[in-house]
Structure 1
Amino acid sequence: MSQTIPAPGRSGNFLHYAARIREVAAANPSLEVIKCEGEVRTWAEFLPRTNKVANMLHARGLGRGDMVAVLARSSVEYLEVFLGALQAGLCIVPLSGMASSEQLEVMIRDSGSRLVFASQSTRDLIEPFRGKIDGVLADGYVAFDFEGDGWTAYEDLIRDASADPLYVDVQPEDGFNLIYSSGTTGVPKGIEQSQRMRSNHIERFVKLGLHDKAVTIVSTALYSNTTLVLMLPTLAIGGRIVLMPKFDVVRFLELSEQEKVTHAMLVPVQYQRILAHPDFDKYDLSAYEVKLSTSAPLREGVKRDILDRWPGKMFENYGLTEGGLGTILACHDFPDKLASVGQAGLGVDLRIINDAGEELPQGEIGEIVGRSGAMMTGYNGRPDLTEAIIWRSPEGEVFFKSGDMGRLDEDGFLYLLDRKKDMIISGGFNIYAADIEAELSNHPEVADVAVIGVPSEEWGETPLALVVVKPGAGITEVGLTKWVNDRLGKTQRISGVEFRDELPRSTIGKIMKRELRESYWKDAPS
């Protein structure tokens, strides 16, 4: 049960997220804060709706420590529930439509969510287990945009709730959101981020140029931390949101021009597709002040293309949803460091360790670890997994292990090499796919590439390049193999190239190497 108190939302010097929202809404009630597919909401229209969500939850006895899940397309209603739950002191659980029904059932049980909000686009994923999870309230399966037996209409649920603000004593270490790690197989881990961690993100993005006149376009899914790290600070400091339920290159460019978008957080594959559009240079993107990229490494050539053709500053961000480590590359300031992912971010202690847990000197390759003021509370209900991600420094400080291999140069810039689990060991030599992928990306006819390890009787495993070529390309698989092997070290040389129409990617643009490897290894001797 939450504690209702007549307080503005401060705990000492800490101002929690819902209190920040109340302050910016009061300061500018007529601001058109959200625009989504023609729907527009001012703060005066939007905030009372979030209040109704908060009061509805409170009336059901839900508050601090409780959770509600959302599995839905991006919409104004989704944001109402997100902010309303936070106002009531709850922890929000945004779920991915990329997961299977079986996985989603496990996630909802694991989180202990009391309500589950859905849209027509995700209904079929929930139906197999609807009504079978004891913790979900009797009217707790809530439909945003459809009707059906066993579903409560969203508007009916909040209709009689008060539109007055609800003041809850939210503390810095209270749960803000529970994000389940990406993946299409296995059971993802629930990453609990706190109010303090999200507050740290606001400060971080203000230092990167976010301000109260910002217009941020949101074109990735709301369940992703990639989306939330920029969208939430934009709202909290009084900026505007242009919300795209589904990414489309032409629509993105049109909205950027029409709405005079100033800020965007995109994933690498979006940058590639946008820049490749034949009409890209016809759009007026002069309002852009800051563009950011995260979730996967952005190729050096794409960074140069952005600097040459897209107005505004360009930052690449590398980090974990779990927090702890993070780097920032100001591409516009360091054009000679574009092969890196930048330097340690504000307040980040970044180090490189070997398999024995010993810290390595500058220049040596090892696993990347880090700590900062923004670190997850832990994996929900899994202290064993939380302990497994921790590396303790000689000083006794807690760092998070990334699972990524990298090295630091003499200026403290970090160069990513590969996921530790994806490293290719061929004939006893460690081969980093990123090095080969970077070389192949320099070929003028290569549009996309992934290098994986495949079985080899002679070497145990050997690197194979899976390549998407640009339209009209004349290079052959044999020709490209020779071209890249002439440029690689002897131990790096690939066994061949296979052309693909496309490479499988998650909804936030990560190439799914596990899926690519499966067909090659399923019949290999163990």
Structure 2
Amino acid sequence: MKDYVQKMPVYAPVNDSETLDAIGWKVQEYAHTQPDKIALIEGDHTISWQRFLNRANAFANQLRAQGLTTGDTVAGLSENSADFVALYLGTLIAGGCMVPLSGMASGESLALMINDCDARFLFVSHRNDSLYGEVRDHLSHIAANKRIGLDYRPDDSAISLEDWVQGASGKPDPARVGLDDAFNIIYSSGTTGSPKGILHDYRFRSRQIRRMTTNGLNGDAINLVSTPLYSNTTLVSVLPTLFNGGTLVIMPKFNAHQFLELAQAHKVTHAMLVPVQYQRILAEPDFDRFDLSAFQLKLSTSAPLRAKVIAEALERWPGNLIEVYGLTEGGISTSLDCGQHPDKWESVGKPTEGAEVRILDEQLRPLPVGEIGEIVGRAGAMMRGYCNRDEQTREILWTSPEGEVFYKSGDMGRLDEDGFLYILDRRKDMIISGGFNIYAVDLEKILLAHPEVSDAAVIGIPSEYWGETPLGLVVRKTGTTTSADDILEWANLRLGKAQRLSAVEFRDDLPRNTIGKVLKRELRADYLNQ
């Protein structure tokens, strides 16, 4: 499985040779320069850099002993754990391409992903045993001795990790890789239908690591990891911490109170979180009792962070806050230094160094400042393409009049006169009511400003008269009794005539994927046939 996708255009504003060396070889030095420094913390267990690298190298050597060659794929279905991180690194050391899979996917989808990327090995944790049972009979190309239980033995169709790795040498022997070699395949979250495999090469990751290192994710970082490793959100902070010799504090599953306990106990300096996690952590009754003074920086991504959440985090939580916007595919990259730009909290910041963002109309023509259209961008980090989907890869591309290749985001937004980007909606989520474009985010901001609303989403539902009409789905704060009609009247008084909600309905919670994005496709499904 070497020809995943057609060769993509490369945007090359930086020197890659130094960063490639750091990924390929520098990490091995930590076994000698800082052998006793803690590399990973998981629960009550601490793992030194020497022990961690011995483990990762043993995985790498065993993978190669069983036939893995440069570019071959290794699939992993596991929650966050020390051994899963070691497997990820070991796969890279062996020259393989890591494919972390989501335990939230259906068995049918997982089988499609594993076969789509032509995985040569499959590693599964005990927590995902039932999913393994669903895909087991659809993996005829993966032999039993290449199906491995990370923390258990699944059944006679697989073996345990300890049996598999027994006798493997922990000596370093990194494979030679080039900038065009496959680093990982990340399958999209599935919020827009069938997941696509997004292929990142070493050029993509080396540039991203270099950029994130400037945010302090270096050898001094103690990074608390609470989002899953199959998400690019997580890898954006994990990989620079790892390759710079820092420390990872691993959470198998997010819990707001436990997050605070770990942050205090280990003097955590950095964390990458998604907006819903900020909301839950700040809402913890004991939040102010925890010592979070070691924090230097918190990062937020995957969805826009509300201004009131930014304000509360900066007031109550030590360290700065940076919001990051981009695609797993790469190409688009902006960041907002929340401490420096309090007047721009409704935006997602400005393009990062070497990145460019433009706004296009329906005919794919560039729009001037202030006009709303689809966001496109290019940056140093751009994917190779979608695995085995050349047509869909071509569909994401837009070539500027100057001949430069940009990626389409599917997001609607605008740029202000200072170059800050504002996101309004997914293009597919834009509501067209009576011929007017309605952006759900504008309505959601109003609903979230209501004193008795804790969460809200707005979707377009079929309307015989208007074509579509906006519906507000609201989660009330605990203990409140305001009615849906009261919230509807309150919101519509604050909305423009063309924006007004047709109704408000209550929900106990809103469906989200594991990185916090509201699954509007699921919300709309209940209304499509009405």
> TM-score of the superposition, structure 2-length normalised?
0.95
- 1:38-92 Cα offsets, whole Å, 9 max, x none, are 1211011110111111111111121211001000111111111110000010000
- Residue 469 of structure 2 is matched in structure 1 by 462
Pick which of 362-371 and 24-33 moved more: 24-33
Q: Distance in 1 between matches of 2:191 and 2:448?
A: 27
- Residue 129 of structure 2 is matched in structure 1 by 123
Matched residue of 2:99: which SS? strand
- Residue 365 of structure 2 is matched in structure 1 by 358
Matched residue of 2:526: which SS? helix
Which of residues 403, 411, 436 is equivalent to 1:404?
A: 411
Which of residues 309, 325, 332 is equivalent to 1:318?
A: 325
Which of residues 391, 396, 399 is equivalent to 1:392?
A: 399
Q: Distance in 1 between matches of 2:25 and 2:451?
A: 51
Which of residues 480, 484, 487 is equivalent to 1:480?
A: 487
Shift of 1:187: 2.5
Q: Distance in 1 between matches of 2:192 and 2:503?
A: 28
What are the ranges of 5 or more consecutive residues in structure 1 without an aligned counterpart? 3-9
- Residue 75 of structure 2 is matched in structure 1 by 69
Q: Distance in 2 between matches of 1:363 and 1:12?
A: 39
The 5 Å alignment of 1:408-487 reads 408-487=415-494
Q: Distance in 2 between matches of 1:41 and 1:315?
A: 29
Alignment: residue pair count = 516
Q: Which structure ranks higher in relative contact order (CA pairs < 8 Å, sequence separation ≥ 6)?
A: 2
Which of residues 37, 52, 57 is equivalent to 1:51?
A: 57
- 1:359-391 Cα offsets, whole Å, 9 max, x none, are 001100000000011000100111101000001
- Residue 347 of structure 1 is matched in structure 2 by 354
Supply the AA of the counterpart residue of 2:506: F
Supply the AA of the counterpart residue of 2:132: I
Paired residues of 1:485 and 1:493 also in contact (CA < 8 A): yes
- Residue 232 of structure 2 is matched in structure 1 by 225
- 1:449-471 Cα offsets, whole Å, 9 max, x none, are 00000111210110011011111
Q: Does 1:286 align with 2:293?
A: yes
Shift of 1:151: 1.5
Q: Distance in 2 between matches of 1:129 and 1:476?
A: 46
Paired residues of 2:144 and 2:159 also in contact (CA < 8 A): no
Q: Does 1:495 align with 2:502?
A: yes
Paired residues of 2:191 and 2:519 also in contact (CA < 8 A): no
Pairwise CA RMSD: 1.6
Paired residues of 1:425 and 1:431 also in contact (CA < 8 A): yes
Shift of 1:131: 4.5
Supply the AA of the counterpart residue of 1:25: A
Paired residues of 2:98 and 2:184 also in contact (CA < 8 A): yes
Shift of 1:27: 1.8
Supply the AA of the counterpart residue of 1:51: N
Shift of 1:186: 4.0
Shift of 1:211: 2.8
The 1:88/1:431 distance shift into structure 2, 3 A limit, reads same
Shift of 1:11: 8.8
Q: Distance in 2 between matches of 1:331 and 1:18?
A: 34
Q: Distance in 2 between matches of 1:331 and 1:488?
A: 27
Q: Does 1:98 align with 2:104?
A: yes
Q: Distance in 2 between matches of 1:387 and 1:11?
A: 25
Q: Distance in 1 between matches of 2:16 and 2:236?
A: 23
Task: Indicate the percent of aligned positions where both proteins have the same amino acid.
Answer: 53
Q: Does 1:165 align with 2:165?
A: no
Paired residues of 2:16 and 2:203 also in contact (CA < 8 A): no
Supply the AA of the counterpart residue of 2:272: M
Which of residues 351, 367, 387 is equivalent to 2:374?
A: 367
Shift of 1:21: 1.5
Paired residues of 2:473 and 2:505 also in contact (CA < 8 A): yes
Paired residues of 1:362 and 1:408 also in contact (CA < 8 A): yes
- Residue 6 of structure 1 is matched in structure 2 by none
Q: Distance in 2 between matches of 1:11 and 1:498?
A: 52
Matched residue of 2:524: which SS? helix
Paired residues of 2:77 and 2:102 also in contact (CA < 8 A): yes
